[in-house]
Amino acid sequence: MAKVKSDVEKVLNYVKTKKIKFVDFKFMDFPGQWQHFTVPVNELTAESFKDGFGFDGSSIRGWKNIDESDMLIMPDPATMFFDTFIAAPTISLICDVHEPATKERYSRCPRGIAQKAEAYLKSTGLADTAFFGPEAEFFIFDDVRFDSAPNGTFYHVDSVEGRWNSGTEEGPNLGYKPRYKEGYFPVPPTDSLNDLRNEMVMNLMDVGIPVEAQHHEVASGGQCEIDLRFQPLLKSADQLLMFKYIVKNTAKKNGKTVTYMPKPIFNDNGSGMHVHSSLWKKNKPLFAGSGYAGLSETALYYIGGILKHAASLLAFTNPITNSYKRLVPGFEAPVNLAYSQSNRSAALRIPMFSSNPKAKRVEFRCPDPAANPYLAFSAIMLAGLDGIMNRIDPGDPLDKNIYDMDPEELKDVPSTPGSLSEALKALADDHEYLLKGDVFTEDVINTWINYKIDKEINPMALRPHPYEFSLYYDV
């Protein structure tokens, strides 16, 4: 309580000394998008952090019906940052969602699920902290247009550095455009986005988000990556949402647009979100040991749990229909469920950059940045914990390029689901590990499955695809 009081005092003092005019409350909807509303600064008092602010929950995706729509957001004072993208002096606070009558946490609040995951981890006695480090790739475009009507549909994205523009009249076209699958990492002028990424990094560091590196990514047409320092589960998810918000708005201020859609460009690499995780107890890392790749028995069982539950995990870590256009062979997106040291064609990799025990971690390479990080990180951790508790053997590592293996060698290596429908079916069949500690609930699982089917899978299935006209118009 003393820490919370101190954080509240810091917020109120900051508001006063910096002459803040508005407070912007940001909270997460069910699928994974930040929502917000703003109040004049005089509405924020010490009591606000206990009493919260009311809003209509019926308009938020995946939440309540109109007859039970009143809800509360409870601002977390430890999450304050100065929001440079709002003209008037404004602070932003990340919020939890609560029931107004009981003040209990709303069971479908994604941030609340992450908080329950951290509490459950401590209750097991196995560890007290789960660290997560996501690498969220993204595309920076100069133009995007799309539409879907009863009699036609299209999309068009463009980037001045896209290889497809090598023959475009640009007055003049200077020719520095990364070749397909060769955007990793040419120096400027071929990498035309270095200065913009540096501006993004400075904006991230200004709000207290530690950045390790930034670089161009493999695909032509503006694919980029900015790597964040690992943090405890909840803080890592909070910072990933701040990261996406800051990157998008920095791009917009420069006349560009950013997307975290996994596969916006055909026949070039898509955007993944490799997720590094490790467990610690009493400030000591638990994944370093004398086993394969310098791993402990605990880490190997953690890997075993993720591999066992990978199909259902992907319903949260790869949660949109477009996710499965990235998860195909040949584009550095692992579709074969195996683990290996250094090998980037394996679903689970053990990075070997450092011999420091504190750096020992497991990298899950399947996820993509469309994921709701509160749900995705919690699910990954719970799968790993299930592996530890049940001593799940991950089998032998696969220390060869999976894409070079012949079918006979691959026949015993399981694959990721080929579609969101398959991942949701796996989740329906395999989710007991997510219910431990009441972290996820049956209601959350069922609502997630039904929402994805009703709002995404079925609407996609009903619409003619433009490429179908190339294939079938003359039948």
Pick the catalytic residue: 96, 363, 368, 386?
363
> Of these residues, 197, 276, 365, 431, which one is catalytic?
365
182 as an active site residue: the answer is no
Out of 29, 76, 96, 217, which one is annotated catalytic? 217
Active site residue 135: yes
> Is 344 marked active-site?
yes
Residue 349: active-site member: no
Active site residue 276: no
Find, among 346, 317, 342, the residue nearest to 417 by Cα.
Answer: 317
Catalytic residue among 344, 399, 422, 430: 344
Q: Which of 29, 83, 118, 135 is catalytic?
A: 135
Residue of 9, 43, 56, 104 with catalytic role:
56
Which is the catalytic residue, given 29, 76, 83, 137? Answer: 137
* Catalytic annotation, pick one of 274, 276, 326, 431: 274
111 is catalytic: no
Q: Which one of 118, 225, 268, 386 is the catalytic residue?
A: 225
Known catalytic membership, residue 225: yes
Annotated catalytic residues are 56, 135, 137, 217, 225, 274, 344, 363, 365
